[in-house]
Amino acid sequence: MNFRVNGNVVKLYGVIWEGDGSYISNQLEALEGTDELVVRLHTPGGSVIDGNIIGNTLKSLNREIHIIVDGMAASMGAVLLTYADKVSIRSNAFIMIHEPQGDGRGTAKDLRSTADVLDSMRANFISVFSTRTGKGTADVEKWLNGDNWFDALKAKNEGLVDAIVDLVIPQEQMNALRNMKITALWASTKSEADKYFTFESNNNSNLNNNSKKIEMNKAELIQALGLKGVTADSSDTAIINAIKEQKEEALAKATKAEGELQSFKDADKTAKKNVVIAVVDTAVKEGKIKAEQKETFVGIGNTSGIEALNIAFAAMSGRKTIVAQINGGGSETQGKENWDWDKWQAEDSKGLEAMEKTNLEGFKVLYKTKYGVEFSR
């Protein structure tokens, strides 16, 4: 949504996109002054949440809020009017009211949850319009059934606005806006939708000046995005297609790069696993561990890394167990070669304590095998 400020007048033109709530809220709170704040509004609606953020911010300002509908206030734009202390409408402007809409994606549970949210939003719409107009719930519910348009006179008679003011947008441009298919606009991309809501020239607001403004924006857009095959004289459709083509090319490159990166990661992972297996096989051949212990040490290598595995094996002598290294291979270690942590704890806890001091690396291997984490003092 476009934001522009001149003194105590703020212009909000365009679709209320996701993220506009935070942006416009920050802009409004940065404004100075405590007198009346005039908000000139022209929007087909958009995000309910972001629209409510804008409205809540307006209500929180220590100023009287006067919203003027310059072109149209449709959907969430109509709800935004209910946050104002005073609402005016240009004699050729329009208001459109319908119930909130949502995308239908996800599981059945997701869709039921979305329906609950939409029901809550619908109830809020009824509440704010009833409060604004003094109408009963039944009357307001009729406004939510389909797209309901209100010209300036009807909007005033129904209590949606307080006053009708002079024209600011030419009648022929307003007729074109009224005939637009709002549901199509709702589903359009931002670049396509916002072309209908550019600011009028500061000098005057005739259609020729608006056309020049759009052409200038086209040139800036083409230059900023580096579009190919289009110029400022190209149609909106051609420029949109050029943006889509550029996006598709970028996505294709990103997908290819992601695939190449994943292939590299897979190859690297396989190579590391092969190195671990090779180191463990060597330890088996040298008699540092038994063949039935191979999978255990492969798991340790994959988890802790090849360096930790090499350190553990370096502390072992061929054909000697960890216990034999502690006591110099004495006869008292015979029969304990395959003891795990629990066996040591149960039958020779003092020997396990001694291992921590005399063969720390061997002790770490037992600890890691038992608890799955590195030992630290």
- Res. 370: pLDDT tops 60: yes
Reported as half-sphere exposure (CB side, CA atoms, 13 A), residue 307 has a value of 0
At 11, which amino acid appears? K
CB 88, CB 38: distance < 8 Å: no
Quick one: what percent of the chain has pLDDT higher than 90?
34
pLDDT digits (tens, 9 = 90+) for 9-50: 999 999 999 889 999 999 999 998 888 999 999 999 998 999
DSSP state of 377: -
Question: Which pLDDT value is given to residue 171?
Answer: 60
DSSP string over 313-346: HHTPPTT--HHHHHTTT-GGGTT-TT--HHHHHH
Is 98 annotated as catalytic?
yes
Is 75 annotated as catalytic?
yes
Q: Could you give all domains of the chain from N- to C-terminal order, each with its CATH number?
A: 2-199 (3.90.226.10), 253-371 (no CATH)
Residue 260, classed as helix, strand or coil, is: helix
With cut-offs at 50, 70 and 90, classify the pLDDT of residue 205.
Answer: very low
pLDDT digits (tens, 9 = 90+) for 302-350: 887 878 778 877 777 655 444 444 444 333 344 566 788 888 888 888 8
Question: Which pLDDT value is given to residue 170?
Answer: 57
Distance (Å, whole) CA 172 – CA 371: 78
Q: Which of 25, 47, 75, 88 is catalytic?
A: 75
The CB density around residue 65, as the number of other CB atoms within 10 Å, is: 19
Tokens matching residue 89 = 């409408």
pLDDT digits (tens, 9 = 90+) for 218-264: 787 888 888 888 887 777 777 787 888 888 888 888 888 888 888 88
Q: Does the reported pTM lie above 0.75?
A: no
Q: What is the average per-residue pLDDT within 58-64?
A: 93
Residue positions counted in the chain: 377
Radius of gyration, CA atoms only, the chain: 36
Quick one: what percent of the chain has pLDDT higher than 70?
80
